Amino acid sequence: MAEHAIDVEGLVREYKKGPRAVDGVDLYVERGEIYGFLGPNGAGKSTMVKMLVTLLPPSGGRATVGGFDIATQGDQVRRIIGVALQEAALDPLLTGREHLYLQAGLNGFPKKQAKERQEELLERVGLSGAGDRKIGTYSGGMRRRLDLALSLVHSPSIIFLDEPTTGLDPHSRNALWEEVRRLARDEGVTIFLTTQYLEEADVLARRVGIIDHGKIVAEGTPEELKAQIGGSTLEVTPALASDRERLETTLSRFGSLAPTSGENGTVGVRLRDRGAAVAEIVRALDQAGVEIANLTLRSPTLDDVFLAKTGRALEAGEGEPEAEPPAGAEAAVVEPEVDLRMAAAGRSKIERLPTAMLKDWMAERHLQEAIESGRRGTPALKITKGPLAGQQLTVKDRLVIGREGDLVIADPEISRRHCVIRVVDGTLVIDDLQSLNGSWINGKRIELPTLLAPGDVITLGTSAIEVTPPPAPSLVSGPAA
């Protein structure tokens, strides 16, 4: 069992006169892995963590953490783990520095080293300036960061974070995510993270375990889990309500019908083929004489996985954060396999394209226009606002923009990999990469790949990028990808 950082076999926690909070859970976490433990309130996440960190004895089963048995080798387990429990357990009357000094001292640091460690960790979590303030004056984000720092005092090899971003604003959440990633990436720390937020599990965890009513209902990488429930879901709204039956019959040829809101006769189909089925479906509907009012392509989310496994949606209940990820954040994920030429069909998103436009697109009229545009030269980009203001650049194939990527913009409002701009048949198409704050074109947030034209202004965080006409060779400068 010791080859994994965490190994759990049939772990059970039973309360007197109550149901099993944890009911025979099996899981493992590899060394250096970020494992997301996802589930709604009351699913058993915190009970699981309390057992693994030795604060609650299991009623049955067994588990090892770092190779030590949680039931019989509690002292050894505690020595190698760091824990930030759901409530940031801090003393409101002590300062940040005093907390860290106390924690370091209790963990055996001599005075001098305790002070050094205290300063090092305050610096790392960005609280040096607030170190002498009492915790009572800290914001939720500052408390969480200090909580994380406290869990790191003795340089643990395994860290348990129980809903670490609940109640945090997007900026604080991003900062915490970044630190969690850094710990796993640079220091090889194993992280067991519980969350009730889909986005958090999706972007942070290499593997995810979904728990409901004390049992693991699904486990795997986010991609594996999504793949388990099939391809993307296509939702089609007929122009005439009377076409609904024909619509269902036609769509059922391409996959299993999926639940939808049912508004305006909308029918959903979970596509068997993740690829180019959309074009075929549109053709089939056309042949069947079904006129389309709206069409939406949505990739599977972890919520779909939860729905498929439990029959209900995963909802953030009590303790919902002040700034929940945008409702569309999950739904806006676009399959990379989707033919980007679709975006070239029109300036609007491919969803809500009227049938006429889809037909036009199928006749490749707009595509031809795009190709013509490409012959005239690919538009360039000029950064007009933000840390890189004044830079001009061209895109050769694709350009990933973010705090990491091909074009690095040091802006905390920008996600690590914020968006990508691709060259498609001589035109530029921008696609948001599930960024937290979104990619905006001319003041409108995009949800699907969108064609860029000269004069468009892209807003990413505090930066603005203007799409300019194809540059003369002498004007080209800046990072080109």
Partner 1 sequence: MKTSFWRQLGLLARRSVVRTFRDPGSVAPAMLVPLILFVLVSAGLEKATHVKGFPTDTIWTFTLTIAFANGAMVTVANTGQAVATDIEGGFINRLALTPMRSFALIVSQLAGPLVLGVIQAVVFLGVGLAAGARFEAGPLGAVVLVLIFLSAVLAFGAFGIFVGLRTGSGQAVQSIAPLMTVFLFLSSVNWPRNLITADWFYWVATINPLSYLVEAMRSLLITGWDKEAIGFGLAFTGGVLVIMLFASAWQLHGRLVRT
Which value, in Å, is the radius of gyration of the alpha carbons in the chain? 26
Residue 372 interacting with partner 1 (CB under 8 A) = no
Range list of H helices, 107-243: 111-124, 140-152, 170-187, 198-204, 222-228
Q: Which is nearer to partner 1, 86 or 348 (CB)?
A: 86
Contact 164, 268 (CB under 8 A): no
Q: Which of 98, 178, 291, 335 binds partner 1 (CB under 8 A)?
A: 98
Taking the C-alpha atoms of residue 409 and residue 175, their distance in angstroms, rounded to an integer, is 16
Question: How many residues does the structure list for the chain?
Answer: 481
Write down the least CB distance from residue 89 to partner 1, Å. 3
Binding mask 121-140 for partner 1 (x = CB under 8 A): -------------x------
Least distance from partner 1 to the Cβ atom of residue 332, Å: 37
Least distance to partner 1, CB of residue 69, Å: 9
Do 6 and 27 meet the contact criterion of CB atoms below 8 Å apart? yes
Using rule CB under 8 A, residue 109 touches partner 1: yes
81 lies in the site for partner 1, by CB under 8 A: yes
CB 142 within 8 A of CB 95: no
Smallest gap from Cβ 58 to partner 1, in A, equals 9
80 binds partner 1 (CB under 8 A): no
Q: Hey, how many other C-beta atoms are within 10 angstroms of the C-beta on 41?
A: 14
Size of the site for partner 1 (CB under 8 A): 35
DSSP code, position 289: T
Min dist. Cβ of residue 91 to partner 1 (A): 6
* Residue 260 CB neighbour total at 10 angstroms: 17
Q: Classify the C-alpha dihedral 440-442-446-450 as positive or negative.
A: negative
Under the binding rule (CB under 8 A), the answer on residue 102 touching partner 1 is yes
- Identify which of 435, 353, 393 has the alpha carbon closest to the alpha carbon of residue 173: 435
152 lies in the site for partner 1, by CB under 8 A:
no
- Contact between 70 and partner 1 (CB under 8 A)? yes
How far apart CA 63 and CA 183 sit, in angstroms, is: 24
- 189 is a contact residue toward partner 1 (CB under 8 A): no
The only residue of 2, 3, 75, 263 in contact with partner 1, by rule CB under 8 A: 75
- Window 215 to 254, contacts with partner 1 (CB under 8 A): none
Longest dimension (CA), the chain: 80
Site membership for partner 1, residue 91 (CB under 8 A) = yes
Measured from the CB atom, is 83 or 176 closer to partner 1? 83
Closest CA to 66 of 156, 179, 130: 156
Query: Min. distance of Cβ 46 from partner 1 in angstroms?
Result: 11
Output 144 or 154, the one with its CB closest to partner 1: 154
* Token pair of 119 as six digits: 């300063």
Does 89 contact partner 1 by CB under 8 A?
yes
Whole-number Cα distances in Å, 81 to 78, 116, 151, 153, 214: 5, 21, 8, 10, 23
Q: At what angle do helices 96-106 and 111-124 cross, to 10 degrees?
A: 130
Report if residue 54 touches partner 1, rule: CB under 8 A.
Answer: yes
Considering the rule CB under 8 A, would residue 144 count as an interface residue with partner 1? no
Per CB under 8 A, the list member of 105, 275, 346, 412 interacting with partner 1 is 105
The only residue of 83, 184, 211, 350 in contact with partner 1, by rule CB under 8 A? 83
- Examine residue 115 and tell whether it contacts partner 1 (CB under 8 A): no
Of positions 24, 74, 412, 470, contacts partner 1 by CB under 8 A: 74
Which of 20, 79, 382, 422 binds partner 1 (CB under 8 A)? It is: 79
Decide: is 53 part of the binding site for partner 1 (CB under 8 A).
yes
Rounded CA-CA distance 402/377 in Å is 25
SS3 439: strand
- Contact between 453 and partner 1 (CB under 8 A)? no
Window contacting partner 1 (CB under 8 A); options: 91-99, 178-186, 310-318, 391-399: 91-99
By CB under 8 A, residue 94 contacts partner 1 = yes
| Exposed e or buried b per residue across 383-394, where buried means at least 16 C-beta atoms within 10 angstroms of its C-beta | bbbbebeebbbb
Q: Which is nearer to partner 1, 58 or 449 (CB)?
A: 58
Strands 81-84 and 158-162, by their bridges, are parallel
Binding region for partner 1 (CB under 8 A): 53-57, 70-72, 74-75, 77-79, 81, 83, 85, 87, 89-94, 98, 101-103, 105-109, 134, 150, 154
